[in-house]
Amino acid sequence: MNSILVVDDDQELRENLQEVLAGDKYEVTLAKNGTEALEIVKDKDFDLMLLDLIMPGLSGMETLMLLHRQKPQIRVVLMTAFSTVENAVEAMRRGADDYLTKPFKSADLLTTLRRVLEEAKFKACQMTLNMDGTFNSLANPIRRQILQLLVANARLRFMDVTRGLGIDDHTKVNFHLKVLKENGLIDQDDQRFYCLTTEGEKVSQCMNFVINNLTS
């Protein structure tokens, strides 16, 4: 479940946004100003901050700049009035990911948040998949198939892997398993079952995410 911090000095709007976002299965936390938001993120990580641009005290722009020093990984979508769109564009130059012009429809809000979060996931996957060892592991289609088999079955013995691949050459399968093991993507337990490591699970998720998005 993605977590979102909503920052706005308008209590009614904050609560309405919480209802909309919770209805779309987001975990929602509320803050009434930038100062409170920055205190909250010290103790909790969020995937995204929905941030009002014009607020008493710390403005949205100031909050954005301080946030990126403290938690640069948090994605930021600004909320702004028509008269401050230029400021929102400037904030995007400074690191915001998108903005919404008030008043906005719930459907537009949800579409924007999904897009920003998908882009974040894609960039994280891009960094993971571009690592030398990972790239080498995924360069071969047989190794990609092995990872997919382990995603589907969790634990497999050597002969299960060969049957799943439809390959009779056991030496070839053993070679590819060794490459995946050396790169930390798979391991064997005490009973000689092959399984994904934590890194292997992350790489497999990224691989499937990229494949699905390139083909959709």
- pLDDT tens for each residue of 108-142: 999 999 989 988 877 766 666 666 667 667 778 89
Residue 11: how many CB atoms within 10 A of its CB? Answer: 10
Residue ranges matching CATH 3.40.50.2300 in the chain: 3-121
| The pLDDT of residue 199 | 86
Place of tokens 């100003």: 33
Q: The whole model's pTM is what?
A: 0.67
Phi, psi of 151 (to 5 degrees): -65, -45
**Cβ–Cβ under 8 Å, residues 25 and 47:** no
CATH class of 132-215: mainly alpha
Nearest C-alpha neighbor of 157 from the set 170, 169, 144 = 170
> What's the CATH class of domain 3-121?
alpha beta
Average pLDDT value for residue range 57-67: 93
Owner of token pair 């690191």: 95
Q: What is the pLDDT of residue 82?
A: 73
- What tens digit of pLDDT does each residue of 75-115 get? 999 998 876 777 777 887 888 899 898 899 999 999 999 98
Instruction: Quote the DSSP letter at residue 84.
Output: G
Task: For residue 81, give the amino acid letter.
Answer: A
Buried b (16+ CB within 10 A) or exposed e, 124-158: ebeebbeeeebeebbeeeebbbbbebbeeeeebee
The mean pLDDT of 182-197, rounded to a whole number, is 93
pLDDT confidence of 210, banded at 50, 70, 90?
low
Domain with CATH 1.10.10.10 in the chain: 132-215
Q: Is residue 97 exposed (0-12), middle (13-18) or buried (19+ Cβ within 10 Å)?
A: buried
Residue 93: predicted pLDDT: 82
